[in-house]
A and B are shown apart, each in its own frame.
Chain A
Amino acid sequence: MKSNNNTIFWEDERVDGAEKVNGKAKYAAEHSLPNMAYAVFVTSTIAKGSIKNIDTSKALAMPGVLDVIYYANCPSVPGYISNAAERPKNAIEWRGHKVLHDNKVRFFGQPIALVVADSFESANAAIRFVKAEYAPESFETNFDKARLDAKNLKINSNYKRGTEKKFKEAFAFVESEFNIPIEVHNAMELFATIAHWEGEDKVTLYDKTQGPKSTQFTVSRTFGIPDKNVRVIAENVGGAFGSGLRSWANVPAACIAAKKLNRPVKLVLTRPQMFSLVGYRPQSWQKLGIGADAAGNFVGISHEAITNTSRYEDFREGIVDASKFLYACENVDTKYQLLPLDLSTPVWMRGPGEASGCFALESAIDELSYKLKMDPIELRLKNYTTINPENKLPFSDINLKDCYAYGINKIGWKNRPTVPGSLKENGWLIGYGMAVGIFGAGKGSASVRIVLSNDGKLLLECGVSDMGPGTTTAMTILASEAMQMPIQKIKFKLGDSDLPPGPSQGGSGTTSTVGSAVDLACKTLQQKLKEIAIKSAPVFAGMNAEALEVKNEIVISKTDANAKMAIIDVLKLANQDKIDLTITSNGKTAAQLKFTSNSFSAHFVKLGVNPKDGTIKILQVVTTGDAGKIISPKTARSQMLGGVVGGIGMALSEKLEIDHKTGQIINASFGGYHVPLHSQIPPTDVWFVNKPDPNINDIGAKGIGEIALIGLAAAITNAVYNATGKRVRDLPITPEKLGFKSKV
C-alpha cells in the first residue's frame, strides 16, 4: 500500500493481476461458443507464382472436415472488390493480401486454403492432404543483394536543412553503414480470431488486436456492413508489440468461414505462421555520416536508409527521423527509400523506425567520440538542445541531462576505460556503453464513459485495449487520483468495441490520450456532483460550485469543513441512482501545439566479452526514462525492464533467416529464432525523471513503451567496442563478428 497525498491509499499492484496469475483472464482463442468449428490455414510452399489447382478431395474425405475454403469456392467479400465502381458503397478495399481470394502466391507461407472441421484435431490432421499445384515464378527475397540495384528502390522521402554532406568538411567525422535483419514481434499469444455471425449482417469477433475499434472498422468496411453490427472483443491481449495494430489474414478468413458454414469459427495461427503472417520489423540498411568541430559541436549529419516492404504494399517508418532533431546541428540531410521484396508486409514493431535509426545514430556518435577523444556523454551534452532543430519548436519538456547524471553514477561510468580493450575483470574484457532513445509523444482524442453509482462505485469505460503495459491499472490510478477516491471502488473496463471510442494501443500514446480523457471525465463528474449537491443539499444552499471540492468520497466546502456530504448521500438526496456521463477529450490544444513533444531515454550497459571465444555477458543495465509524470510506477518499471530484454534480443540474437533459393523462412520457431531467455538477463535498474511535462496534456504524462527499447542495442554495441575495440554495425552481434570462429 502506498500513501498518496496522505489521504488516499491505493495498492501499487496491477489491478488485473489476480486473474492473470490464476488463469482466469481470457484471451481471444479462449472463448467457446456453441457449435463452434475450428479452422487451420494451409500455406504456400513457393514464394511467388500462381496456383494451377488445389485438390481438396482427400482433405474433405477426412473425418470431421467440414470444408476446405480457397479461391475457387470462397464467397465474395465486398472489400475484396478492387474496382471501386463495382464495390458496395459502404465497403472499403481490404488493405494487403486478400486471403483466400485469388490464385496468386505473393510470399512463401501465404495462406492458400482454410480447412474447417468440427475439432482442432480433425482440421489439423487434414491440412497435409490439401495438395496445390503451382506455376512458380522468379522472385527476390534477398535484401542485401536487391538493394544494390537502384532500379529496385522506391524513393520515399528526402530532407535537407543547411548543406548536404557537410559532415565531410568537419574537423573529425565518421561515415558508417549499419545493417539490421528482419526481427519478429513473436508475442507469446498466438494470433487468433473467433468469428460468429449473429445475423446476415451482424458479426461478433473475439480477436487478438491492439485496437478493438480499428478492427471493428476494418471488418465493417471489408464486409460492407454497419459499424454497429460489428462487435470486437479483446479483453486481454497476450502481447503484440505493434503486430496487433492492423488486422491480418486470420480476421477475414475466420469471418468468411463462419459466414460460409453458418456457425462460429475459431482460427488460431501456429507459431511458424506468426513469423510470416502478422508483420515484422523490416530489414534495414543505413549509412550515417556525422562530423564535429574540435570542440565537439556537430557540423553535419547525413542519414540514408533503405527498408524492405512487400511487393503488394508499402510500409514505411520514421527510420531517419531522430537524426533530424535529437541533437543541435545546422546541416542535416536524410534520404529514405523502400525496397519491395517477395515477402509479406512489415509492420510497426516496438520502437518502430527509431529503434533502427537510433542504432545507427547513437553508434555513429560513439564512434565519433573516440575520434575526438571525448567522452561520448560529454559529446552528447555538447550538442544538447531544448529546441527541436527540425521544426524549431521547443520540446514540451526535456530532462535527458538528469538521465545522464543518474546513469553515470549508477553504472559506474568513471570505471569506463578510455582505451578500448584495456579493462579486464576475472579474465573477461569489460566495456561500458550508453545510448539515447527518443520517440514522439502524442495525444489524440478518446471518449470515456464514467458512471458513479449510489453504492459509491465508479465505473469507467473506453474501447482501448491493454496488451500488457498495464493500461487498466494506470487508468484506474489516474481516476483514483483525480477523484481522490480509493482504487478498490474503481473499475476501468476496456477491450470491447461497444465501449466509447478509444485509440488503438500503440505509438506510446495510450496513457497520454486515454489518460487525458479519464482525467477530464473525472473532472466533469466532480463538477456535476457539485451542481447536484448545491441543488439538493440544504447544507450547500447558495454556494458556488467553485467553493466546493470532491475528495475522499465527500463533497465539501473549501472554506467550511462542516459543510460536507458523502457523495452517495448526495445522489440519494437527489433521488438519482447514478450519474452517467460520456465525455470526449480531444487532441492537443493550440497551446500544446506550440511545443514538440517527445519521450526520451538513456540506457547504460556494462558487459564482459570472453577473450577466448567472444561470448558476451551483459553484467548490468541502467535504463532511464524521461517521460513526464509516471502514472503507475510499478507497471512502468516493468515496461522499461521489458524494453531492455527486447533490446538485448535485438542486439545479441534476433534475426529472421530466409533461404533465398526457396524464399522460405528457415528459423520460424523459438528453436531457431532466439529471443532472450531468463539466464541472459542482467540485473537491471530502472529510473524515471518522473516530472510532469507541463505542455503535453493536463496529466503531465508521456508514453514509455518505445523509448524502453530504442537505443538499447546501440548501448550494447558501444559497450562491446569499449570492451574489445571491435565495432559491430550489423546486428545481431555474434562471436564471428568479433573475429571468433563459429563453434558449430
Chain B
Amino acid sequence: MKPCFQQDGRRSFLKKSTALVALYLTPSVFVKAFAVDTIVPMPIPKEKLTITINGKKLNLEIDARTTLLNLLREELAFTGTKKGCEMGQCGACTIHINGKRTKSCMQLALTHQNNKITTIEGLSEGEKLHPMQAAFIKHDAFQCGYCTSGQIMSAVTCVREGNAKSRASIQAYMDTNICRCGAYQNIVDAIAEVAKTGVKI
C-alpha cells in the first residue's frame, strides 16, 4: 500500500518519515532475501536492550524488529500508549524519551539504549493524578479516551517547553495529535488552565 500524500509541508514530512520507518522495519537480512526472492529460514534476530521505563531500569532481550510502541504494548503491558496508525501521523502513541515528546510507533526500540522513557502510566504517582490528567478530567477533554494518552503526553511538553502562551500556540503545538471524537476545544482549555496555574509539570 503506497499512500498518496498532498504536497503541503506537514503531510509531505509525514510521507518522508513514513518511508524511512518502512525501511527500518525491514531488517537487512530480509531485504536481501526479498531482493533475490528466496528465503533461507533464519532465527528471529534477538538483541539486548537496556532501557529505563517510568523510572525502572530494564535489561531486555528483544526482537530487533520491535518498535518502541509494540515493545511497550505487547511485551511490557504498558497498554496506556495507544496504536492509532503506525505511521507517525495520529499521535496516539506519543511518549516522552529523555523528556522530549516522541511518537513511539516511529522508533525502533533498539535505537533507545539507555534512554529514559515516560509513558502515561508514569505520569501519575500511584493513584494521584498528574495536574494535566486532572485538568483533562475537569474539562472533559476526551470522549472515547483512545487518543487521550498521546494528547496528555504532548500537552505536558507543550506547557513545559513554553508553547502554551496562547490558544493559537497550543493548537499549533497540538496539531500532532488527532482526536476523532473532537474534544479539541476542551483539550486546549485543559492545557491553558494548567499553563496558567504555573505549576511545574
Size of the B side of the interface (Cβ < 8 Å), in residues, is 81
What's the dominant secondary structure at chain A's contact region?
A: loop
Tell me, in angstroms, the Cα distance from A181 to B83 when the chains sit together: 27
The residue in chain A whose Cβ has the minimal distance to the Cβ of B144 is A468
B-facing residues in A564-621 (Cβ within 8 Å): none
Report B135 CB to chain A, min CB distance, Å: 9
Tell me, in angstroms, the Cα distance from A635 to B182 when the chains sit together: 12
Flag if B4 contacts A239 (CB, 8 Å). Answer: no
Does chain B have a CB within 8 A of A669? yes
Which one, B140, B148, B174, contacts A635 given CB within 8 A? B140
A-facing residues in B11-40 (Cβ within 8 Å): 11, 14-15, 18, 25-26, 30, 34, 38-40
For A128, what are the chain B residues with a Cβ–Cβ distance below 8 Å? Answer: 34
The residue in chain A whose Cβ has the minimal distance to the Cβ of B142 is A20
Flag if A18 contacts B80 (CB, 8 Å). Answer: no
Does chain A have a CB within 8 A of B92? yes
Flag if B183 contacts A642 (CB, 8 Å). Answer: yes
Does chain A have a CB within 8 A of B199? no
Which one, A13, A187, A188, contacts B140 given CB within 8 A? A13
Number of A-B contacts (CB under 8 A): 228
Flag if B41 contacts A61 (CB, 8 Å). Answer: yes
Contacts A239-B144, A467-B144, A671-B3 given: A678-B174 contact, CB under 8 Å? yes
Tell me, in angstroms, the Cα distance from A236 to B172 when the chains sit together: 29
Flag if A190 contacts B137 (CB, 8 Å). Answer: no
Which one, B43, B84, B86, B185, contacts A188 given CB within 8 A? B84
The residue in chain B whose Cβ has the minimal distance to the Cβ of A31 is B79
Tell me, in angstroms, the Cα distance from A239 to B147 when the chains sit together: 10
For A270, what are the chain B residues with a Cβ–Cβ distance below 8 Å? Answer: 86
For A272, what are the chain B residues with a Cβ–Cβ distance below 8 Å? Answer: 1, 3
Type the 1/0 row for A267-287, where 1 means its CB is closer than 8 Å to any CB of B. 010111000000000000000
Does chain A have a CB within 8 A of B197? no
What's the dominant secondary structure at chain B's contact region?
A: loop
Report A485 CB to chain B, min CB distance, Å: 22
Flag if B145 contacts A238 (CB, 8 Å). Answer: yes
The residue in chain B whose Cβ has the minimal distance to the Cβ of A239 is B144
Flag if B175 contacts A677 (CB, 8 Å). Answer: yes
A-facing residues in B150-201 (Cβ within 8 Å): 152, 168, 170-172, 174-175, 177-188
Type the 1/0 row for A503-526, where 1 means its CB is closer than 8 Å to any CB of B. 000000000000000000000000
Which one, A27, A638, A670, contacts B87 given CB within 8 A? A670
Which one, B78, B89, B185, contacts A684 given CB within 8 A? B185
Type the 1/0 row for B80-102, where 1 means its CB is closer than 8 Å to any CB of A. 11111111011010000000000
Flag if B137 contacts A17 (CB, 8 Å). Answer: yes
Contacts A239-B143, A268-B83, A671-B3 given: A121-B66 contact, CB under 8 Å? yes
Report B50 CB to chain A, min CB distance, Å: 20
Which one, A27, A125, A642, A683, contacts B143 given CB within 8 A? A642
Report B34 CB to chain A, min CB distance, Å: 7
Flag if A239 contacts B181 (CB, 8 Å). Answer: yes
For B63, what are the chain A residues with a Cβ–Cβ distance below 8 Å? Answer: 119, 121-122
Does chain B have a CB within 8 A of A62? yes
| Interface, chain B (partner A; CB < 8 A) | 1, 3-8, 11, 14-15, 18, 25-26, 30, 34, 38-44, 63, 65-66, 70, 73-74, 77-87, 89-90, 92, 119-121, 123-124, 129, 133-134, 136-138, 140, 142-149, 152, 168, 170-172, 174-175, 177-188
In the complex, besides A22-B133, A125-B26, A657-B4, 15 extra interface pairs with C-beta distance below 8 angstroms are A18-B137, A20-B148, A21-B142, A22-B123, A26-B79, A43-B1, A238-B144, A271-B86, A467-B144, A634-B140, A667-B5, A670-B85, A671-B89, A672-B11, A744-B7
List of 9 A-B pairs having minimum Cβ-Cβ separation, nearest first: A23-B80, A645-B182, A238-B146, A468-B144, A20-B145, A642-B182, A468-B143, A23-B120, A30-B79
